[in-house]
Amino acid sequence: MSDIPMVPETQNRQGQNTPLSAERPTRRGKRNIVEYLGIAADEPDRFGQLNEWKRAPLVEFGIEEDLCGLYCQYGRCLGPSYEISCRDGCWFCHNQGVDSLRNLWRNYPDHWALLLKWDTDSPVTFKADGHTVHDFDRRFQMEVERKVPSDRTFRWRMLDDPPKFVADAGEQISLFERRIR
């Protein structure tokens, strides 16, 4: 572990240097949380983000990306998205985009159910902005029910105040009718 770059100090919100253990973004409710990242030993450009609270077991054990992929394939734990993509992240990664999550929700219900369970068990939210897997679950269900748009106009507040009418793809509407409060 000594060859992994460590960050001895970090800056707090006031710009003052503080020992890393005193104030860190992964401290939640008096729990010290270590984040484990999927960085492989042959990805040195990504080592800079590693410290005592962000660790990469693949780096620590010297496992390169190709070997990790083979191991996951052999152990039947390779993410399902690799069936349609040659390069993808972990199916449970919080950094994946909405389209990737929607694909998981739509096509891999067993994986999605496990992600929902982990979300319930986790002391932190799935996304840094505070949204949970359960929030995405509700969003995707409302998209299917055409209660919220599934395109770029989605806003999280729509889950609590959905529009009355969502147009089909290609359908023209002159007014996007909203509920009157």
With a cut of 70, which residues of the chain have pLDDT below it? 1-31, 81, 83-89, 150-152, 162-181
Q: In the numeric block, which tokens belong to residue 129? A: 């902005």
**pTM of model > 0.95:** no
Q: So what's the pLDDT on residue 116?
A: 96
Helix, strand, coil percentages for the chain (3-state, nearest 5):
35, 10, 55
Query: pLDDT tens across 72-86, in order?
Result: 778 777 777 676 666
Q: In the numeric block, which tokens belong to residue 82? A: 């690799």
Q: So what's the pLDDT on residue 169?
A: 55
Amino acid making up residue 40: A
**149 contact partners, CB below 8 Å, separation of at least 6:** 143, 158, 163, 166, 167
Q: So what's the pLDDT on residue 13?
A: 36
Q: Cα-flanking dihedrals φ and ψ of residue 55, to 5°?
A: -120, 155
